[in-house]
A and B are shown apart, each in its own frame.
Chain A
Amino acid sequence: MSAPLTLLDRLWSMHEVLRREDGSALLWVDRHLVHEGSHHAFARLAERGLPVAEPGLTFAVVDHYAPTRRAGPIADPAIARMIETLRGNAARHGVRLFDLDDPDQGIVHVVGPEQGLTLPGLLITCGDSHTSTHGAFGALAFGIGATEVAHVLATQTIWQRKPRAMRITVDGTLPLGVSAKDIALNWIARFGADGAQGHAVEYAGSAIRNLSMEGRMTLCNLTIEGGGRMGMVAPDEVSFAYLRDRPQAPRGNDWTRALDNWQALASDADARFDRDVVLSAEEIAPIVTWGTSPEQALPIDASVPIPETLPPAKAQAARAALDYMGLVPGRPLAGTPVDQVFIGSCTNGRIEDLRAAAAVLAGRKARVPGLVSPGSARVKAQAEQEGLDRVFTEAGLDWVASGCSMCVGMNGDLVAAGKRCASSTNRNFRGRQGKGARTHLMSPAMVAAAAVTGTLCDVRPLLKGRPV
């Protein structure tokens, strides 16, 4: 009998072109996604006069620098140049480009699954750390740097050492008002922002099975914030239902054959993991970050930590973070006034995220300004069909076009220095949303609650008697 295998083992061996004696493997890349940041890699290709090896497996998306207000020409010449450079590189190499005016444009990690480019069993790379998102479909997906992007462009392969396998099992039922975002921030707070370093994380358990694809994508997306380069969920009926009839998914006989292959993509019941942890869904509460690392997170009913009471290794970082964030140790987190809100990003910019935020905002007014940027033009169109855009605009929030927007601020959507933003994004790093900006990460429903009250607050009372 052969040794039991993990999902990681199966995906890895499927893609090995060859393995060197030193253990490093040359892996075939099924889909290579590129965005404006690929300019370094294309420049390297040009220096060497090399073509793109597989233009048919390479897809370019305008997202990081995409203006979210599309009327008129782009005012900032540096931003216009970044987008022009991507257009030029895509055209030169015959690569499909999802440009600003494309009805299928959006954030690369929203577009891939939406188009059916992301499928179970594929190996997907992109020069963006949140590529882990695509693992939600049972794909092997990870972010790479510019040198590696150039290598994939030139050869459609990548050299990698196999990471160790970690399993996070979440059993039970998530309480009302608690989402995939809270699961992720919960484990990152517990195990640290480097808790999964060197590991690929497989999510399992009944609470994960009960998540929609959107929720699974949020969870896999945030795996990198806990140090894991890859997150994954074994594909099941939920994944297949999501993918069926997507533009680039297999059809007819190919669909049936693909399903047969995909159903085998799971860890064996007796597979061994290098790390194996179990969490209880019932114990997870809506969570917000208070510091400048995603590990600095607490349930909304907690108080701002008192650095002196923390272990010495964490105390100094907490002091510096609280100073940057302008928070007073010992005060309740709830009630902290916010200056603005942001809903969007590859973490929480999908239709389900917008529905969750709209369920809180419907019939209410936002006390602070805010931006809602859907994850893709398709998500935007669907939200408008469902009337969600009116919920946001009637509440007083701005409804804009899709892109990475205020998650990273490259397109000019910035939080001003010293301003506090309740944000559905992935990084509360210093300066991430703008120089001196203070970011609190939380779920889209929690951001909506912050908009309604003008403060960090528990969304659960605001959901009473509402359809969710």
Chain B
Amino acid sequence: MAGWSEQRGKAVLLAMANIDTDQLIPARFMSTPRAQGYGRFLLHDVRRTSEGTLDPAFPLNAHPDACILVVGRNFGSGSSREAAVYALVDAGIRVVVAPSFGDIFAGNAVNNGLLPAQVTETDAELLTKALSSGPAQGSADLASRLLSIAGVSVPFQLDEVWRTKLLNGWDDIDLTRQHAADIAAYRARLVSEPGRFPFDRAS
């Protein structure tokens, strides 16, 4: 995964709270191999009418080139399915702006180069107002932790560890394998602790 320091592109408003991961990608699509692409599953049922056709009034249908999504509180709550992040990333989304995110979703996002930019309720309202008449150009800068959308500039919160990860695009497995000796030492201490290994594996 490549690191990045700035994203620029079209910002689109989805003024809904509690967009859970079941809505981001319904369960029935999750047996698909990732290589086939998940972008077409993003908000699959939300963006369609009850007849199953794409709803022209849904913002992402009119603007499939969106890069930044501005959404309501508790975005990505629910299931731990990383497929929700795959659907966003494969559809070209690089930044999601919200007053709050589901904990598991936010971690999954960072692991796939997607920025969960947390803003205050007040700033979220400013951005919502700025986008209420339609999409606009926007940017997100990791160094300054600033968003600039439709001419409105607001700061966003991001854990320092996560910022470093997005900047570098690091793979945790490589990072962790450098600590193999520490892990082996920890494991060696476990053997004498009752219950740390299942009964049929305990020596």
Residues of A within 8 A of B (CB): 17-18, 20, 22-24, 26, 28, 30-31, 37, 39-40, 43, 48, 50, 56-57, 65, 78-79, 81-82, 116-117, 119-122, 127-129, 143-148, 150-151, 154-157, 159, 161, 163, 192-194, 197-198, 224, 227-229, 247-251, 254-255, 257-258, 261, 292-293, 295, 313, 317, 320, 408-410, 417, 427, 429-432, 435-436
In the bound complex, residues from chain B placing their C-beta under 8 Å from that of A251 are 199
Chain B interfacial positions (CB closer than 8 Å to A)? 16-18, 20, 22-23, 26-28, 30-31, 33-34, 45-46, 50, 73-74, 77-83, 85, 100-104, 107-108, 111-112, 159-161, 164, 172-173, 176-177, 179, 182-183, 186-187, 190, 193-202
The answer on a CB contact under 8 Å between B80 and A129 is yes
The answer to whether A161 and B159 touch across the interface, beta carbons within 8 angstroms, is yes
User: Within 8 Å CB of B177, what residues of A?
Assistant: 154-155
A320 to B17 alpha-carbon distance, docked (Å):
11
The 3 A-B pairs with the shortest beta carbon distances in the complex, nearest first, are A145-B108, A147-B111, A145-B82
Separation of A213 and B176 alpha carbons in the complex (Å):
36
Q: Which residues of B contact A227 (CB under 8 A)?
A: 74, 77, 102-103
Enumerate 29 A-B pairs (CB-CB under 8 Å) in ascending A order.
A28-B186, A31-B198, A37-B30, A39-B31, A40-B34, A40-B83, A43-B34, A50-B173, A116-B199, A122-B196, A128-B79, A129-B78, A144-B80, A147-B112, A154-B176, A156-B187, A157-B176, A197-B101, A227-B102, A229-B103, A248-B199, A250-B195, A254-B195, A254-B202, A257-B194, A293-B18, A427-B22, A430-B46, A431-B22
Query: Contact between B176 and A194 (Cβ–Cβ < 8 Å)?
Result: no
A410 vs B82: C-alpha distance in the bound complex, in angstroms?
16
The answer to whether B104 and A261 have CB atoms under 8 Å apart is no
Residues on A with C-beta less than 8 A from B112 are 147
Assess the A56–B198 pair: CB atoms within 8 A: yes
**Known A-B contacts A26-B179, A129-B104, A145-B85; A410 and B27 likewise in contact (beta carbons under 8 Å):** yes
> What residue of chain A has the Cβ atom nearest to residue B79's Cβ?
A129
Cβ of B182: which chain A residues have Cβ within 8 Å of it?
17-18, 26
A156 near B50 (CB under 8 angstroms)? no
A154, B187: Cα distance in complex, Å: 15
**Can you add 6 more A-B contacts, CB < 8 Å, to A43-B33, A247-B199, A250-B195?**
A154-B177, A156-B187, A193-B77, A248-B200, A254-B194, A317-B18
Residues of A within 8 A of B20 (CB): 293, 427, 429
Q: How far is the CB of A458 from chain B (nearest CB, A)?
A: 27
Given known A129-B79, A151-B173, A410-B27, contact A161–B103 (CB-CB < 8 A): no
Cross-chain contact B173 with A155 (CB below 8 angstroms): yes
**CB–CB A429/B172 < 8 A:** no
For B80, the chain A residues whose CB sits under 8 A away are 127-129, 143-145
**Are B104 and A229 touching (Cβ within 8 A)?**
yes
- Assess the A197–B102 pair: CB atoms within 8 A: yes
Q: How far is the CA of A197 from the CA of B197 in the complex (A)?
A: 31
Q: Tell me if B176 and A151 are in contact (CB < 8 A).
A: yes
Closest to A321 in B: B18
CB distance from A16 to the nearest CB of B (A): 9
Please indicate the chain A residues that have their CB under 8 angstroms from the CB of B196 in the complex.
30, 122
Cross-chain contact B74 with A122 (CB below 8 angstroms): no
A81 touches B31 (CB 8 A): yes
Assess the B100–A156 pair: CB atoms within 8 A. Answer: no
List of B residues within 8 angstroms of A194 by Cβ: 73-74, 77, 100, 102
Are B173 and A250 within 8 A (Cβ)? no
A258-B195 contact in complex given A23-B161, A145-B108, C-beta closer than 8 Å: yes
| Bound-complex Cα distance A293 to B100 (A) | 15
Chain B residues within an 8 Å CB radius of A155: 173, 176-177, 183
With both chains docked as a complex, state the minimum distance between the C-beta of B166 and any C-beta of chain A, in angstroms: 13
Measured in the bound complex, the distance between the Cα atoms of B29 and A78 in whole Å is 10
The answer on a CB contact under 8 Å between B107 and A436 is no
Are B160's CB and A22's CB within 8 A?
yes
Chain B residues, CB < 8 A from A151: 172-173, 176
Q: Which residues of B contact A292 (CB under 8 A)?
A: 18
Which residues of B are found within 8 Å of A20, using beta-carbon distances?
Answer: 161
Q: How far is the CA of A230 from the CA of B66 in the complex (A)?
A: 34
Least Cβ–Cβ distance between B33 and chain A, in angstroms: 8
Which A residues are in CB contact (< 8 Å) with B28? 409-410
Task: Give Cα A248–Cα B196 distance, bound, in whole angstroms.
Answer: 11
Cα–Cα distance between A367 and B83 once the two chains are bound (Å): 39
Complex contacts, A39 vs chain B, CB 8 Å: 31, 33
- Within the assembled complex, what's the spacing in Å between the Cα atoms of A161 and B101? 16
Partner of A250, one of B16, B30, B187, B194: B194
Question: Provided the pairs A82-B31, A435-B45 are in contact, do residues A159 and B194 lie with their beta carbons within 8 angstroms?
Answer: no
Q: A409 to B179, Cβ gap below 8 A? A: no
CA gap between A248 and B80 in the complex, in Å = 27
**Nearest chain A CB to B90 CB, angstrom units:** 13
* Pairwise interchain contact A258-B194, C-beta atoms closer than 8 A: yes
Q: Which residue of A lies closest to B77 (CB)?
A: A193
B175 to chain A, nearest CB (A): 8
Contacts of B197 in A (CB 8 A): 56-57
Q: Are A150 and B74 in contact (CB under 8 A)?
A: no
